Amino acid sequence: MSGPDGRCIRKRQRLRTDADSGRTVPQLPLEIVTMEILSRLPVKSLLRFRSVCKAWRSVISDDLSLVGSHQQHQPQASSLLVFPVLMCGRPDHGDDHHRYAAEKEKQRSCSSMAFYRWEPSPLAKAVSLVHAVDGMAPKQRCPFVPHDVLAHCDGLVLVATRERKVHLFNPSARQAVTLPWSPGSDAPRSFPYHQAFGLGRDPRSGPGAYKAARYFHREVLVVATGWYELTTGMEVFTVGTDRRWREVATQPPYPVIPGRTATSFKGSLLWTVDEAYLGVGATAPGFLRLSLEDETFGVTPPPPCHPRLNYFCSTLSELRGELCVGRTLEPNVLEMWMSEDAVRPRWERRYAIRDAVQPPYLPHPVAASDDRIVFHDLQGSDDHSDVFVCDYSFRTQVFKRIVKMHRLRGYHHKRPGASIAAAAQIFVIPYRENLLQLNNYIVQ
C-alpha cells in the first residue's frame, strides 16, 4: 500500500510489543541482524544461536556473506593455535607382554588430533583445548608428512598424514573433513619426501573461496652424471566445488623443497624453490608463486640481500599484510625483509635482530602486533627437539624466549596413555576464528 496510510501499516508491521513493559520495540531486518550483530560474535556463540529459529540456522550454516563479514570483523591474531604431533612407538622397558600392551595403548592415543589455544605471554602457563578429533591420525611412529609449518589460512588448517590422506580442519567451528585421495600422494620409488602443501583463499572469488594445493614429485630419475631429473606436478582442490584434486594446466617451472609449506599471501601461494635440483651452479630466480585466481605460475624476486639469499636456510611468512623473508645475516643475527606486494615486490630491510639465531635453526615468524613479533623456534639435539615461542619487542629491541611449549599445562588427549613429552613436534600458527561450515561445503 502506498501513501501515508501504507507507510503506517508497514511501520506497524515492523513493531512488536514487549509483553513485560507494554512498549513497542522495532524488529530489525534479518540482514541488519546478520551483518551488524551476528558477524561480530564469536563462532562458539554463533553455533549455539543456530537453534534460535530456522532463519538464523540457515544464515549461520549456509550464508557465505556472513562468513566473509565475520572474517572482516576478526581482530588481528593475538593468540596462537598449538598442534602437538605425538610420537608413537615401542617403549624401552618392561617385559614383552607389557611392552605390547603399552605400545597398543600409545598407538590408540596417538590416533587423536587436538588443537589448543594459547596467549603468547610469560604469564600464560596453560593452553585451552579448542578441538579434538579421534581416529584421524594413522597409528604410526611418525604419523604425519614432514613439514616445517602447518598450511593454514583464515583459521583453516591443512594436515597431511603418512597414510596418504589430507585432512582439512576448522578448529573454531570444531569441524574436520578428509579430502579425496589423489595419485599425487604416491611417492616415487626410493623417494619418500616428495610433497609440499599450501592453503589459501582467492579474494576475487568472494568469501569461502579456499583452495588447497599440493606440489609433488611425479618421477625422479638419476641421469648419467649422477644428477637428478624431476618430473613435477601441482594439483588444486577447491573447497565447496571440487569432488577431486585436479592438476593445473602447466607443470611447475621450478622444483620446490618437499615439506616446506607454501605461504598464503593476497590471493597467491608462494613456495621456496629447491636449488639442489636446478643443476650444478644454477640458482633460483625467486620464490615460486601460484595465483589462486587463474592457477598460473609466476616468480617473486628475492630481497636484494648480500650475500645472495640461501633459500634453504631462509623463512617465508606473512606478517600483518606483508610478506616477510628471514635469513641469518651473521652467526646469531636474524635479518628480516618486508614487502607489501608479491608480484612486483619493493623489499625493505626492516629488522636485524641480534641473539635470535642458534644455528642450525632459524626462528620462524608467526604473528606480529603493534609492539612485537612472535616467533616459533625449534632447538634440537641428537635425541629430542625443544620447541619455544619467542618474541622481539620493538620498544626494547630484545629477543627472548617466552616459554618452552612442552611445559605448558592443559594438554588433553581423548585416550589415556599419551603424554605431551612424547611430542615429536609442536606446531604453532596464528589463531583466527572462521565460521565456514566444512561439512556443508566439502563435496564428498
User: What does the pLDDT look like over 62-99, one tens digit per residue?
Assistant: 889 999 999 988 877 779 999 987 655 444 444 444 44
Looking up cell 562468513 gives: 67
pLDDT of 110 higher than 60: no
What the block records as the C-alpha cell of 194 is 616428495
pLDDT score at 283:
92
Residue 117 backbone dihedrals phi, psi, to 5 degrees = -110, 140
- For residue 372, the surrounding DSSP H or E stretch is strand 372-380
pLDDT of 252 higher than 50: yes
pLDDT of 3 higher than 60: no
Helix pair angle (64-72, 54-62), 10° resolution: 70
What the block records as the C-alpha cell of 201 is 583463499
- Per cent of the chain over pLDDT 90 is 48
pLDDT score at 246:
95
Mean pLDDT of 262-286: 92
Q: What are the percentages of helix, strand and coil residues in the chain, rounded to 5?
A: 20, 35, 45
Q: What is the DSSP string of 15-37?
A: EEE-TTT--EEE---HHHIIIII
The model carries a pTM of 0.84
pLDDT score at 145:
57
pLDDT score at 13:
42
pLDDT of 420 higher than 70: no
Length of the chain counted residue by residue: 444
What residues are paired with 318 via a beta bridge? 323
pLDDT of 153 higher than 50: yes
Q: Poorest-confidence range of 144-153, 173-182, 207-216, 315-324?
A: 144-153
CA dist 91 and 89 (Å) reads 6
Q: Poorest-confidence range of 52-66, 82-96, 230-244?
A: 82-96
CB 269 within 8 A of CB 292: yes
pLDDT score at 329:
87
* Residues with Cβ within 8 Å of residue 58, at least 6 apart in sequence: none
Looking up cell 530489525 gives: 28
pLDDT score at 28:
73
CA dist 433 and 390 (Å) reads 23
pLDDT score at 218:
87
Higher pLDDT, 418 or 177: 177
CA dist 390 and 374 (Å) reads 6
pLDDT of 104 higher than 60: no
Q: Poorest-confidence range of 257-271, 285-299, 381-395?
A: 381-395
pLDDT score at 444:
52
